[in-house]
Amino acid sequence: MKAIRFPLVAILVVVSGVALLTGCTASSTGEIDNPVLRRATWIDFISAGDIRQNCRPGAAERIRFVLNANRAEQVRIYDLNAANETLRIRVLTPKQRIDEIRLDNSITRFFNPSDMTVRLSERDTALILSAYRKDLAAPRSELPSELLTEWHFWLVGACLDGKFTYDAWVNPGRDFLALTFPENLLRRDISNIPLNLPPGERLTIRDYNPERQQGYDHYILHLREDRVILGQNYGLDKSK
């Protein structure tokens, strides 16, 4: 049977159109393979909504670490399950553009993150938990209320001792640089995808450059006590 071929642009239009109809407010199951569902549930996913919903006394200790290393360039997700002693590693990066996709393969695989799971020792699990607890308890010099998706920042949602916590650390800043949990995660990262290094200074909307956007919308995230809320998109006209 001859494979049916569709232009990539047409597929992207369908994917984007369906996602926009959802309003990006759907609840996440913790999975992000499907590009349509990922767009629809992304804010709840990076808010660790699935962990928050199941967090109660006696629940397994779970943490979702999200490193937004400029949304248009790289997002790294680390899911720690202390009960199973596993660390799931997912990395989203821009995919190489192609003119056509064959329907005899999985269409969505071109949009999937790199996805792998590491089996941890009891000691490794304890080290990650200990580092995060230490960072969470450390005095803060800055408590961000808004985040731009061009920035480099950590979002962390955790169910520890039956209670859900959510926090953010933004680069550059003393709090971000003082974190100890990133080293523990990166030392166990087997993705072989280099870390997208942060810039030396924090960009503002006035610094927005559409040539760096790489086909991605950038937007403002509003940080709340237990999640982030999607704010407005921003572009070149917002700097005038």
Mean pLDDT across the chain, nearest whole number? 82
Tokens of 87: 């660390």
pLDDT of amino acid 97: 39
pLDDT, tens digit (0-9, with 9 covering 90-100), for 14-34: 444 333 333 456 899 999 988
Euclidean distance between CA atoms 179 and 156, whole angstroms: 12
pLDDT of amino acid 3: 45
pLDDT, tens digit (0-9, with 9 covering 90-100), for 50-95: 999 999 999 999 999 999 999 989 999 999 999 999 999 999 988 5
pLDDT, tens digit (0-9, with 9 covering 90-100), for 219-233: 999 999 999 999 998
pLDDT of amino acid 38: 87
Listed in sequence order, the DSSP H helices in the chain are 8-22, 35-46, 49-53, 122-137, 174-177, 181-186
User: Residue 83 has what DSSP assignment?
Assistant: T
pLDDT of amino acid 198: 84
Contact 50, 42 (CB under 8 A): no
Given the structure tokens 């933004």, which residue do they identify? 170
Q: Is residue 239 helix, strand or coil?
A: helix
pLDDT of amino acid 35: 84
pTM for this model (two decimals): 0.82
